[in-house]
A and B are shown apart, each in its own frame.
Chain A
Amino acid sequence: MSDPKGRARVGVYVCHCGTNIAGVINVKDVAEYGATLPNVVVSREYKYMCSDPGQELIHQDIHEHALDRIVVASCSPLLHEHTFRTATEAGGLNPFFFHMVNIREHASWVHTDKPAATVKARDMLRAAVKRVVRHRALETRSVPINPDVLVLGGGIAGIHAALTLAKAGKKVYLVEREATIGGYMAQFDKTFPTLDCAACILTPKMSSVKAHPNITLWTYAEVTRVDGYVGNFKVEVTRYPRYVNEALCSGCMQCVEACVYKEGRVPDAFNFGLSKRKPIYMPFPQATPSVVLVDPEACIDFKSGKCKKTCIEACDRDAIDLKQAKDVQQITVGSMIVATGFQPFDVKRTPYYGYGRYPNVFTSLEVERLVNASGPTGGEVVGRDGKKPKAVGIIHCVGSRDKNTNAWCSRVCCMYSLKLAHLIREHTEAEVFNFYIDMRTPGKGFEEFYQRLLHEGVHFIRGRVAEVTDWAHDRSEDGKLVIRVEDTLLGTVRRVPVDMVVLSAGLEPREDAQDVRRLFNISCATEGFFLERHPKLAPVNTTTDGIFLAGCCQGPKDIPDTVAQAGAAASEALSLIDAGEIELEPNTAYIEADHCSGCKTCIPMCPYSAISFVAERDQVAVNRAEINEALCKGCGTCVATCPSGSIHQNLFEDDQIFDEIAGLLEFAR
């Protein structure tokens, strides 16, 4: 209730914030000035307004001086608006009769001219006092939180988050695009720094996911639509047809054996194209769920309709259903964890390293499969010509730390390059050369891993490789891949002929990251990874309440950090669920129903899809726009758009804004 005559009883508090504000602004002067402003009953200065005594001051003054409006001139509302609103409420006033002026980030922290900064602080205070008189009482709303959670992505991040939530008794939907969970980790051989086998530590977790009663695992599925808001997300999940009935298939693979193709012809994605598979296949032996699938682009029956279908004959459970259709599910969850992972840098973008031109240039992921005992070569590290290499060059920073491709450091490549150096030596006894710019081994046990490699006789050459060519200087280089590099530590240019080159490709955001972010209404940072709310203090939250991030989709990281982050995301979700409800900020927009003409101009403008057009309700014509308060983020776009001025915004009413502007400009008179 703002007084129609514009009268109020305002308390002004100017904070020193130690020396943060007082070091530049003459706080005493500003507080004294505050006392001269109209409607101001009390004007004080204090060292730390956010402290208990500071807040006590507000309570006391409200009672002693019958204040009905409070202005605090201190730091950023992002930091302490909530603190002071609570203090105002504790003093008996509606918390929204409080207004905060940021004379720290907007004045003392950005100006060096002290007198000018003090004048600015006065101007800001004057504007705030005029404004706060126009504040109205507002009520916050709470919405309940649905306890179910959606985890998008079944790599190690998604798996760990899902298990954590399931163990806490929450129901989890784990949606994975590929036919099996496991992600990239399932394709690694050994993991740094302990060199334990990736599959050995991952597959038990994969089994737990499958077995856990609280987890609904949908593989070969994608989220195709997301509506709703925190606590109440309505999600559409489309499960694509594998042409095999998941409930019936036992994973015996007799159908694969029986397929009319005697051997594989389709490049096997699990082995990065280094081997071939049949049109009906199991993604990899430990795939979870252990169900085969049919590739309609390769299967003869799909392409021509004429196949003996020996696979169906071989299946004793009638699990193969070539007419299977996609299945669309609608679910409601209260929170979501996005764990969609990364994609490796495409080394064809650095053609000077020879990938594709010379057969024995490999990517690091291809070599992971080569060294793996269940890989395409049974663990033999050989070139595409089948020969064992006598010398191998590992080139660090391919597609990382490079303004011509990706400018960031991909964080894991130095460690995995060391790991591959170790494994290659173990498998071949070849001379291994690692070409690096810096050796980045910061994690726990990582420096010790580097020390281990130092003792294994690997050559460490500090120099970024410019090109890989087959230019032979003399007979000794004939038929080899020659790496010309400046050994910066030795101080000379060297030519190192090798038989195999391994490109340590970096990590980058997935190609469809922009599509995913639009679906979920979250943001991407400039490189394309999903944006966290705060890089230090809120690394798993997004700016959209109820949606959390885990793993490499937020930025390149190794398995220890991924698992830690997945646990953090799960705990944020749990924190939301166990609180049971969430308070919504009342700075939402509202429509003056009688003034709305139903022109629909505002509806497409809303970035949060919070406005809908209601044609009729209970068979009565309505023809008006309505705002869903829970979705509205108070951005103000519709308020500005409405041609008839029918939309207003709490906390940003016209009279409040105009008075604030008038207050600021008074100095000009």
Chain B
Amino acid sequence: MSSSTDTNVTHGPNPTTPEAFPVAQGPVAIFTKAKDESLIRRRIRYQREADVGWMQRLAAQPGCEGLYACIQCGTCSATCPLSIYMDFTPRRVIQLVREGFRNDALRSQTIWLCASCYACAVHCPQNIHITDVMYTLKREAIAEKLAPKRFPIPVLAGVFYNMVRNHGRTSEFWIVLRLMLRTNPLGLLSMAKTGLALLRTGRMTLTQERVKARHELRAMLPPTEEVR
């Protein structure tokens, strides 16, 4: 500790990293001779990755006001029947949203595995509509094309959406066919047995069901699609 009267020591402003020093970022394999140090992971979050205003934007959507109230108690994950299969449990996804880690949240499988059973929303002690948050994230992931390409669930959503938008009703046969062709064509074979059972019991039609007044849908829907 030198005193301010000591004239041999100069204190300038805090030194910043001069241009000359490189900054090691990301998973760069440096300082290593071994080919495989892949056992080592470097996990840290920098504030520059975070989109701090994201949570506020999401919380303005209907049903998402509760995002501010989360105390991270974990009740949602505890009651969610799918949480054990998710990469981030529902609680962790909420925390990702609150802290602005958009990429992780929108690329997660969690939002697609959510079956909208509302167990989380009913049990949440802060009355957060977690299911609505999941829907909001689904929509944003699709709009930003961040959903995994061959992951069946967003593909299903897309197929379903297009069919209903055009015809007003769904036909399970055509949905499944289109879904499987896009994600896992060989999987059709394993579904054949179930399909045949459905045909046998008269529970599957091969025709496309349609609404008569499709013009009403055409009038109603397109402008609402601009609002996300």
> Which residues of A does B touch, CB under 8 Å?
352, 397, 401-404, 437-438, 462-467, 484-488, 491, 493
Contacts and interface: CB of A to CB of B under 8 A. Distances in A.
In the A-B complex, list the 9 residue pairs whose CB atoms are closest, starting with the nearest.
A466-B79, A486-B77, A486-B74, A464-B73, A402-B125, A466-B78, A463-B74, A464-B75, A437-B73
Contacts of A485: 74, 78
Interface in B91-138: 91-92, 119, 123, 125-127
B127 A463 contact: no
B91 A493 contact: no
B72 interface: yes
Contacts of B71: 401, 437-438
A464 B92 contact: no
Given A401-B125, A488-B91, A462 B74 contact: yes
B152 to A, nearest CB: 23
B84 interface: yes
- Chain B interface, >50% SS class: helix
Nearest to A461: B74
A493 B78 CA distance: 7
A480 B45 CA distance: 41
B56 interface: no
A465 B79 CA distance: 8
B83 interface: yes
Contacts of B72: 488
Nearest to B79: A466
A535 B126 CA distance: 25
Contacts of B170: none
Contacts of A491: 89, 92
Interface size range of chain B in the complex: 10 to 19
B73 to A, nearest CB: 4
Nearest to B73: A464
B79 A467 contact: yes
A403 B125 contact: yes
Contacts of B76: 466
B78 A486 contact: yes
Nearest to B84: A493
Contact of B125 (A464, A467, A486): A464
Contacts of A488: 72-74, 77, 91
A493 B75 contact: no
A67 to B, nearest CB: 55
B33 to A, nearest CB: 33
Contacts of B127: 403-404
B120 to A, nearest CB: 9
A478 B77 CA distance: 23
A466 B123 contact: yes
Which of A397, A438, A465, A466 has its CB near the most chain B CB atoms (within 10 A)?
A466
A402 B91 CA distance: 16
Interface string B10-45: 000000000000000000000000000000000000
29 contacts: A402-B125, A403-B125, A404-B125, A437-B71, A437-B73, A437-B74, A438-B71, A463-B73, A463-B78, A464-B73, A464-B74, A464-B75, A464-B78, A466-B79, A466-B119, A467-B79, A467-B123, A484-B78, A485-B78, A486-B78, A488-B74, A488-B77, A488-B91, A491-B89, A493-B77, A493-B78, A493-B83, A493-B84, A493-B89
A397 B126 CA distance: 13
A485 B73 CA distance: 10
Given A437-B74, A486-B74, A493-B89, 6 more contacts: A352-B123, A437-B73, A463-B77, A464-B75, A467-B123, A488-B72
B52 to A, nearest CB: 23
B99 to A, nearest CB: 15
Contacts of A467: 78-79, 123
